[in-house]
């Protein structure tokens, strides 16, 4: 087997592994303090939510809390309800947009009413059945909770390197751009992974400070393994969902094949290298042929 074939198969597998699971998302825009921030946070939340809906088989799997609705009790209730629909094989992305604070001991995410502490948020995340979790905390001082929230199979993105970086951040703006355009899609497969979105947003934040000839007040970080396994945006025909029942049926078939792809990955330790990549190639061919059907169907005039 050629090195090129190995690399191609491995790369495609990494991108698709979580795509086969049910996708859930919770986006929270906290207090802005002033109207400028309030509006900005709402717009960013909706942009990220739109991308999440396109990546999910069911728009009801995406919850957005903004303004007065982003209260502690509301978030706890929504997470509990969403958790009832999940199983351990599913994936969930949680995005926090807003202001955070750190007093040297406790991180707090600013929401209407009592703030949410890092400990409270962490317990909510731990109670979700989905094992695959991507937590994107774009708030100021967000780096303070990275170690506290670290868990196996969880990827954490923080807009700051520590709780000491307390200035309002720019990271959410560029994360929203990463999931809503093709700018972050490095390999042009119409899927933006968490790794691609992070690299893009981090790069744009650095560039923005340089353009302003200003000292950077935030340094983003990402913790966790296999960050490529999270698809945070599906562009073009890679998106899930259509008004055409036949296309939706094809999407359902694609989900089944993607789950087969994940099953192959799980069997890798028990297979020889040739057996593994031969099996993998067979599933990838099926996926490519099905995607060709989806592309052709979507290209037809309605």
pLDDT tens, position by position, 179-231 = 999 999 987 878 899 999 999 999 999 999 999 999 999 999 999 988 877 88
Is residue 9's pLDDT more than 60?
A: no
Boundary-marking domain end, from 206, 235, 264: 235
Q: Which residue has the higher pLDDT, 3 or 66?
A: 66
Position 1 confidence tier, pLDDT thresholds 50, 70, 90: very low
Q: Does 63 share its domain with 196?
A: yes
What are 11's two structure tokens?
A: 């790369």
Amino acid 2: pLDDT: 46
Position 25 confidence tier, pLDDT thresholds 50, 70, 90: very high
Amino acid 241: pLDDT: 55
Q: Does 54 share its domain with 172?
A: yes
Q: Does 223 share its domain with 248?
A: no
Beta-carbon contacts of 134 under 8 Å, excluding residues fewer than 6 positions away, are 91, 92, 93, 94, 154, 155, 157, 194, 230, 232
Q: Does 48 share its domain with 117?
A: yes
Amino acid 302: pLDDT: 56
Q: What is the mean pLDDT of the chain?
A: 87
Residue 2 lies in a domain: no
Amino acid 252: pLDDT: 65
Boundary-marking domain end, from 184, 200, 235: 235
Q: Does 127 share its domain with 252?
A: no
Q: Which residue has the higher pLDDT, 87 or 292?
A: 87
CATH of the domain at 151: 3.40.50.1460
Residue 3 lies in a domain: no
Residue 9 lies in a domain: no
Domain count, the chain: 2
Q: Does 114 share its domain with 175?
A: yes
Q: Does 94 share its domain with 223?
A: yes
Is residue 102's pLDDT more than 50?
A: yes
Position 286 confidence tier, pLDDT thresholds 50, 70, 90: confident
Amino acid 19: pLDDT: 45
Residue 12 lies in a domain: no
Out of 44-48, 104-108, 119-123, 278-282, which region has the weakest mean confidence (pLDDT)? 278-282
For residues 116-122, give the mean pLDDT.
Answer: 98
Q: Does 264 share its domain with 213?
A: no
Residue 123 lies in a domain: yes
For residues 44-70, give the mean pLDDT.
Answer: 92
Amino acid 21: pLDDT: 63
Is residue 285's pLDDT more than 80?
A: yes
Residue 4 lies in a domain: no
Boundary-marking domain end, from 235, 252, 270: 235
For residues 170-182, give the mean pLDDT.
Answer: 97
Could you tell me the residue range of the domain that residue 90 belongs to? 21-235
Residue 226 lies in a domain: yes
**Beta-carbon neighbour count of residue 148 at 10 Å?**
13
Q: Does 226 share its domain with 270?
A: no
Place of tokens 């089944």: 256
For residues 150-170, give the mean pLDDT.
Answer: 96
Q: Does 127 share its domain with 206?
A: yes
Amino acid 180: pLDDT: 95
Residue 7 lies in a domain: no
Q: Does 84 share its domain with 65?
A: yes
Q: Does 65 share its domain with 184?
A: yes
Amino acid 291: pLDDT: 78
For residues 121-126, give the mean pLDDT.
Answer: 98
Position 246 confidence tier, pLDDT thresholds 50, 70, 90: confident
């Amino acid at each position: 087997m050629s090195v090129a074939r190995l690399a191609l198969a491995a790369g495609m597998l990494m991108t698709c592994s979580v795509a086969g699971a049910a996708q859930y998302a919770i986006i929270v825009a906290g207090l802005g303090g002033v109207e400028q921030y309030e509006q900005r946070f709402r717009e960013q939340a909706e942009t990220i939510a739109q991308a999440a809906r396109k990546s999910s088989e069911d728009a009801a799997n995406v919850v957005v809390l903004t303004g007065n609705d982003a209260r502690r009790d509301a978030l706890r209730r929504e997470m509990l309800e969403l958790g009832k629909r999940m199983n351990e094989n599913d994936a969930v992305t949680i995005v926090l947009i807003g202001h955070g604070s750190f007093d040297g001991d406790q991180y707090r995410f600013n929401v209407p009413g009592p703030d949410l502490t890092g400990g409270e948020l962490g317990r909510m995340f731990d109670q979700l059945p989905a094992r695959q979790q991507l937590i994107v905390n774009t708030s100021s001082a967000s780096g303070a909770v990275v170690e506290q929230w670290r868990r196996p199979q969880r990827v954490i993105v923080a807009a700051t390197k520590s709780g000491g970086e307390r200035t309002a951040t720019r990271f959410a703006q560029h994360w929203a751009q990463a999931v809503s355009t093709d700018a972050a899609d490095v390999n042009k497969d119409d899927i933006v992974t968490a790794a691609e979105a992070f690299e893009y947003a981090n790069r744009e934040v650095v560039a923005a400070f340089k353009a302003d000839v200003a000292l950077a007040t935030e340094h983003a970080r990402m913790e966790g393994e296999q960050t490529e396994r999270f698809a945070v945006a599906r562009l073009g025909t890679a998106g899930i969902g259509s008004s055409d029942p036949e296309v939706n049926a094809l999407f359902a078939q694609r989900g089944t094949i993607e789950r087969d792809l994940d099953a192959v990955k799980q069997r890798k330790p028990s297979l020889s290298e040739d057996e593994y990549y031969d099996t993998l190639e067979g599933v990838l061919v099926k996926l490519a042929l099905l995607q060709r059907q989806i592309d052709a169907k979507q290209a037809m005039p309605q």
